[in-house]
Structure 1
Amino acid sequence: MAVYTDVSAEDLADFLSRYDIGTLLSYKGIAEGVENSNFLLHTSRGYFFLTLYEKRVAAGDLPFFLGLMAHLGQHGITCPQPVLNRAGEALGTLAGRPAAIIDFLEGVWPRRPGAVHCGAVGTALARMHLAGADFPMRRANALSLAGWRPLYAAMAPRADEIQSGLGGLLAAELGFLDSAWPRHLPEGVIHADLFPDNVLFLGDTLSGLIDFYFACNDVLAYDVAICLNAWCFEPDGAFNVTKARAFLNAYGRERALSAAEQDALPVLARGAAIRFLLTRAVDWLNVPPGALVRPKNPLEYLRKLRFHQSVASVRDYGLE
């Protein structure tokens, strides 16, 4: 369970007294996510989410995240909206951590995504990219090309504890990406973490995008590559071209990928695989003592990386 910071009933009651969300009936920790401490609140006015932002999330970035959600909501994107306290503020402090309350969205994330889910995500991602075009705040992506080598340095001495030879493989791939990473592609606000557990559905209808705490400014097609990795592989590691075709075609109907973006997609997908392989490896090797958290297996992304290394062109992703 992703609860790193315990919250007493007394401290929570004092924090909630600053909000007009009704009387607290119950609260519980949420097992999803690995970055922050999350709680589901049940009050006399309904359900809300409470997030305590842990040390990996810089406090200075929080106005960007919360402001982006408000901006996207105003532009027709269904995503959680920050709840303001009586002073008109979206951000407070609880248990020594920055904290915010956001509203509750109906829906569940798909445990076994199909092509219909992938198509809906493609549409939503493209619309999010378009809606974010005039968002005035900026945040650099600390987990793009320049950030991968520090992550590698943090885990390299123990990389072979995960799998023999992993350290050398990662070093070689980072060298390739340094030389091959595409430049001058369209940029904008990206979600950067749009995994199935960050997309809610009611049946086959997408009901909301959540968890914007990696959102930043970067290459838009890199966000597409992240989603290819997150949505278009089967549990056994096989790439599902039907899902990829549904995702890419739906995205393209809302925002067409340029020829340069299409040509760059295999390299961007390799970079996206490296990004999550590295962060998962660091987490795998450094679980905080006493934290009730389930680290994700980094080797899932090694299998995805190997697939992308074999891709000859964007046609291998089902895009004609």
Structure 2
Amino acid sequence: MAVFTTVSPDEIASWLLDYNLGEMRDLRGIASGIENSNFFLTMEQDGSTREYVLTIFERLTFEQLPYYLHLMAHLASHGISVPAPVPGRDGEILRTLKGKPATIVTRLPGSSQLAPGAEHCAEVGGMLARMHLAGQSYPRQQPNLRSLPWWWQTEAEILPFLDAGQRALLQQELVHQTAFFDSADYAALPGGPCHCDLFRDNALFEDDHAGHYRLGGFFDFYFAGNDKWLFDLAVTVNDWCIDLASGTLDHARAQALLRAYHAVRPLGDIESQRWRDMLRAGALRFWISRLWDFYLPREADMLQPHDPTHFERILRRRIEAAAVPWT
């Protein structure tokens, strides 16, 4: 959520005339993330203030965005705690700002839990399963745009920056994942709308100041797409349930998340058999994207590209592990 497109308060105030949200009291750029320009927006109406998130989309198109925005609206209407897109006076939730697509969504309560314990992971697992089930009735279709075809496309761009060992790992894993994706087992895996990027910083927890945290919700759905639910689960486990320094899975956290998920949506035999393959797929996806962002960056205020070696370590650990945690 870096700031690629700068806007002045006067520009935003004029743009907000198309909404019925009152008067703007504050506008602050959000530094985290690397895809879109994001701002916290504070509005005052009838004597009370409320906070929103304004997003200007830098890569996604007007044609792609309805899938994400209406998915968020669908999930919110089905009791899943996610940001809800705010319609303008004309009922539209997608508008143009400085020549780019833009939207406003409600801001969720809480803050990110960047050092999660098993209890946090269990809450995430349960809500992720509920989100998957709620998404079954979502009628729009769009594939995960950062899946296997994108991995192959991006390989040619990042390969010149890698050493011999990294190139070998990347190419061997792409071949492995292509065979997996072409298999009957992969075709049999259940799926539907997925978040596809449910990292620790894309969920919020509320602190009750008595040593307990309540999951406030998931946000940043702009990598979402129709995919296998097991992929969404693998991406989540690869971030929430690891030792950050080594990339090794933490069995207690992984089992807490998986068991909570399984209690809501029972996991099948093929999902169990292909779990390691999907953990590797999740690691490969983010290793490739972080290599791309790191070596081929875009200019942006507050841009902080992530270290790609983090997911290289995770991928190597998933390949080398004698066993991986399951339910």
Say yes or no: TM over 0.5. yes
- Matched with 2:179 is 179
- Kindly provide the amino acid, as one letter, of the partner of residue 54 in structure 2: L
- Counterpart in the other structure of 2:210: none
> Is 1:189 aligned to 2:197, yes or no?
no
Q: Which residue of 2 aligns with 1:303?
A: 313
Matches within 5 A, 1:132-143: 132-143=135-146
Contact 1:20–1:86, Cα closer than 8 Å, also in 2:
yes
Residue 215, structure 1, aligned to residue 224, structure 2 = yes
Tell me which residue corresponds to 1:263: 273
User: Which residue, out of 278, 292, 304, partners 2:288?
Assistant: 278
Number of aligned pairs?
313
Matched letter for residue 246 of structure 1: A
1:318: how far off? Answer: 4.1
**Residues 242 and 318 of structure 1 are in contact (CA less than 8 Å); yes or no, is this contact kept in structure 2?**
no
Q: Residues of 1 paired with 2:50 and 2:77: CA distance?
A: 22
- Indicate the residue corresponding to 2:15 in structure 1: 15
1:190-215 Cα shifts (integer Å, max 9, x gaps): 11000011101012210111011111
Deviation of 1:166 (Å): 1.2
Q: 2:261 aligns with which of 241, 251, 257?
A: 251
Task: Give the match for residue 33 of structure 1.
Answer: 33
In structure 2, relative to structure 1, the CA distance for the partners of 1:20 and 1:190 (3 Å cut) is same
Query: Which stretch of structure 1 is more off in the superposition, 239-248 or 146-155?
Result: 146-155
Aligned to 1:288: 298
The answer for unaligned runs of 5 or more in structure 2 is: 208-212
C-alpha change, 1:5 and 1:190, in structure 2 (3 Å) is: same
> Could you tell me how far apart the structure 1 residues matched to 2:299 and 2:22 are?
36
Shift of 1:303: 1.0
- Aligned ranges 1:96-107 → 2 under 5 Å: 96-107=99-110
- 1:134 is paired with a residue whose SS is coil
Aligned to 1:93, what secondary structure does the other structure show? strand
AA of the residue aligned to 2:305: P
Task: Report if aligned partners of 1:119, 1:246 keep a CA contact under 8 Å in 2.
Answer: yes
C-alpha distance in 2, partners of 1:32/1:289? 15
Deviations 1:54-74 (A, max 9, x none): 0x2232111111100110011
1:52 aligned onto 2:52: no
Contact 1:35 1:57 in 2 (8 A): no
SS in 2 for 1:80: coil
- Give deviations 1:55-97, integer Å, cap 9, x for gaps: x223211111110011001111011001111011101111111
Q: Which amino acid aligns with 2:296?
A: N
Matched, 1:71 2:80: no
Seq. identity, %: 39
Is residue 28–residue 40 contact of structure 2 (8 Å, CA) maintained in 1?
A: yes
Distance 1:143 1:262 in 2: 24
Look up the SS of the partner of 2:91 in the other structure: coil
Name the CA distance, whole Å, in 2 between partners of 1:122 and 1:34. Answer: 25
Deviation at 1:306, TM superposition (A): 1.2
Q: Deviations over 1:272-308 (max 9, x none)?
A: 1000000000000012235430000111111111111
1:241 and 1:317 in contact (8 A); partners too: yes
Deviation of 1:146 (Å): 2.2
Deviation at 1:13, TM superposition (A): 1.1
Report the TM-score when normalising by structure 2.
0.93
Q: What root-mean-square deviation, in Å, do the aligned CA atoms of Structure 1 and Structure 2 show?
A: 1.3
Unaligned runs of 5+ in 1: none
| Kept after mapping to 1: 8 A contact 2:272/2:326 | no
How far did 1:105 drift? 1.1
Matched, 1:233 2:237: no
Paired with 2:257 and 2:141, the residues of 1 have a C-alpha distance of: 27
Q: Is the 8 A contact 2:4 2:299 kept in 1?
A: no
Distance, in Å, in 1 between the alignment partners of 2:136 and 2:194 is: 10
Give the match's secondary structure for 2:54: strand
* Local SS of the residue matching 2:64: helix
1:91 to 71, 94, 102: 94
Pick which of 200-209 and 283-292 moved more. 283-292
Distance 1:99 1:290 in 2: 17
Which 4+ stretches in 1 moved above 4 angstroms? none
Q: Does 1:108 align with 2:111?
A: yes
Q: CA deviation at 1:312?
A: 4.6
User: What SS does the corresponding residue of 2:35 show, helix, strand or coil?
Assistant: coil
